[in-house]
Amino acid sequence: MEFTNLLNASVARIERALDRHVPPAATLPPRLHQAMRYSLEAGGKRLRPVLVLAAAERFSTAGAADPLPAAVAIECIHTYSLIHDDLPCMDNDDLRRGRPTVHKAFDEATALLAGDALLTHAFALLATAYAAQPALAVALVQELGDAAGSRRLIGGQMADLLAEKKTDATAAGLEFIHLNKTAAMIEAALVMGGRCGGADESQVTALRTAGRHLGLAFQIIDDILDVTSDSATLGKTVGKDARADKTTYVKLHGLDAARRMAHEQTEAALAALRSLPGDPAFLTALVRSMETRIK
């Protein structure tokens, strides 16, 4: 099967698993569960869960675990972070995944609670789905907890908010923000997939390195698209960074250098993935497809 068909099949598996592993919209209180599903079901590229499945597939260890609950857990965390990021007290956005943001479609309190509920659900799901493999359950909870915690996702978001008020942004400061706000979840996706597949510690290190480079590439590409793409294509507000005079890779280095940096990070990610067993075709094509978005 060619890459696009494989990607569509992977996304379809993830959509079905999201439906299966997240409480139904009619669960009491329905308004909360509708808001959780409103955002989850709006789509999105599903990049992080696709990475979980793709990483797991590189291993064919006896006793490998089903990576789908881990894929759902990371999408729940990612979606919560988007809901909260869109709130008026943060990025104050009206459009996400091609739809009005959760606080616009519902209200602010519901958006806050829907984000909280998705965050909490992710860990309950990991503990429940992997209960029969306690060592794996602990490793997955640890990985996702670290990636989503105060030193990484939330810390990166805090640093990003603080940086908005500063005029002396540096490349190192920008890298701190993006290694944590963006790359942490991409790194966790690859590592969690590897852990489900039965990767050993040196393979987990390779996945972590690849995730770090891929995460930086993803952010640089996101900064480029904010300048070169449009809201209809991306399903979210564009041009916001420039209007807010926000420090981005494009502002700091210019468009050409940013494109070059995205390419270098993409190649570094691919180099780290080369040591892994299994068929490299899908994961390689997936990594390359991210860079193709800016070509």
Considering only 10, 81, 247, 266, the residue that binds ligand GRG (CB under 6 A) is 81
Report the amino acid identity of residue 231: S
**Angstrom distance (rounded) from CA 256 to CA 224:** 10
Yes or no: say if 58 and 283 are a contact pair by the CB < 8 Å rule: yes
Q: Is there binding between residue 37 and ligand GRG (CB under 6 A)?
A: no
In the complex, the smallest distance separating the C-beta of residue 257 from ligand GRG, rounded to whole angstroms, is 20
Q: What are the angstrom distances between the C-alpha of 175 and each of 120, 236, 242?
A: 28, 23, 18
Considering only 154, 159, 169, 270, the residue that binds ligand GRG (CB under 6 A) is 154
Backbone angles phi, psi at 95, to 5 degrees: -130, 130
Segment lying near ligand GRG (by CB under 6 A), choices 153-161, 261-269, 275-283, 285-293: 153-161
Token representation of residue 19: 């439906």
Q: Is there binding between residue 85 and ligand GRG (CB under 6 A)?
A: yes
Considering only 7, 47, 114, 206, the residue that binds ligand GRG (CB under 6 A) is 47
**Angstrom distance (rounded) from CA 185 to CA 162:** 21
Segment lying near ligand GRG (by CB under 6 A), choices 33-41, 42-50, 101-109, 266-274: 42-50
The radius of gyration of the chain's CA atoms, rounded to the nearest angstrom, is 18
**Angstrom distance (rounded) from CA 61 to CA 57:** 10
Residue whose C-beta lies closest to ligand GRG: 44
In the complex, the smallest distance separating the C-beta of residue 47 from ligand GRG, rounded to whole angstroms, is 5
Q: Is there binding between residue 57 and ligand GRG (CB under 6 A)?
A: no
Q: Which residues pair with 95 in a beta bridge?
A: 100
**Angstrom distance (rounded) from CA 258 to CA 55:** 27
Q: Which is nearer to ligand GRG, 102 or 199 (CB)?
A: 102
Q: Which is nearer to ligand GRG, 46 or 195 (CB)?
A: 46
Q: Is there binding between residue 222 and ligand GRG (CB under 6 A)?
A: yes
Q: Is there binding between residue 180 and ligand GRG (CB under 6 A)?
A: no
Considering only 70, 77, 82, 276, the residue that binds ligand GRG (CB under 6 A) is 82
Element (H, E) at 100: strand 99-100
Q: Report angle CA 250, 251, 256 to the nearest 5 degrees.
A: 35
Residues forming the site for ligand GRG (CB under 6 A) = 44-45, 47, 78, 81-82, 84-85, 97, 153-154, 157, 181-182, 222
